[in-house]
Amino acid sequence: MALRGVDFEIHEGEFVSIMGQSGSGKSTLLHVIGCLHKPTSGTYLLDGVDVGTLNDVELSRLRNAKIGFVFQKFNLLSHESILDNVALPLVYAGVPHRERVEPARRILERLGLGDRLRHAPSELSGGQSQRVAIARALVSEPSVILADEPTGNLDSRTGEEIMGLFTELHREGRTIVQVTHDREKALFSQRILHIKDGLIDREETLKNGREAGHGVG
């Protein structure tokens, strides 16, 4: 679904959820935010940079420096160890091998996977695999985490654990934007953008777990 006249801001350190039916444009919006798609019109500023003026190489550098991605499908390389999967963004950033092992190991240990460094993805549970995907998103120390249905392939208990992890990361000051169809997961955020037919239909600000809905003009 193409986006039509979307106008909004996400502030540094915010936790925002995007909700909408299938085909509403929510994943397209996330891809634009993540510099995977360039807007065909209008302006998108990421940390003051006009994304529309960048070429593909510059976009790639910006993504790798600023953004970590977490997807519903874990997208782990089956032939690589967990440690090497997590270190992959550092490979793209040109970090030498010896200098990328330690950050990958450290973030995996933080997420409770320090005893799985040499395991293959096939040896992990769904929750462990998503933790690896989150570790991969964090290893470059990005300021923004974008998550597309991050709990969609997980059971409810594991999904709650993953959302708790996102909450912890948000408290550390990271900006988090997630797409979800699950309202319970959206309630972990500070704000919900409801998208319909390529437009932001309404916005909710969540305060102390209570919902305050209002339309977007």
Q: Minimum mean pLDDT among 52-56, 87-91, 205-209, 213-217: which range?
A: 213-217
Task: Please say if the pLDDT value at position 17 is more than 70.
Answer: yes
- 11 pLDDT higher than 70: yes
Contact between 133 and 70 under an 8 Å Cβ cutoff? The reply is yes
CB count within 10 Å of CB 177 equals: 23
Q: Which one-letter amino acid corresponds to residue 174?
A: R
Query: Which residue segments constitute the domains of the chain, with CATH numbers given?
Result: 15-40+51-210 (3.40.50.300)
Give CA–CA dist 136/89, Å, rounded.
7
Return d(Cα 196, Cα 168) in angstroms, integer. Answer: 30
Q: How confident is the model at residue 214 (pLDDT cuts 50, 70, 90)?
A: very low
pLDDT of residue 175: 96
- Whether 12 and 175 have beta carbons less than 8 Å apart is answered as yes
- pLDDT for 80 equals 95
pLDDT of residue 39: 82
Q: How far is CA 60 from the centre of its chain?
A: 16
pLDDT at 162 over 60: yes
Average pLDDT (212-217) is 41
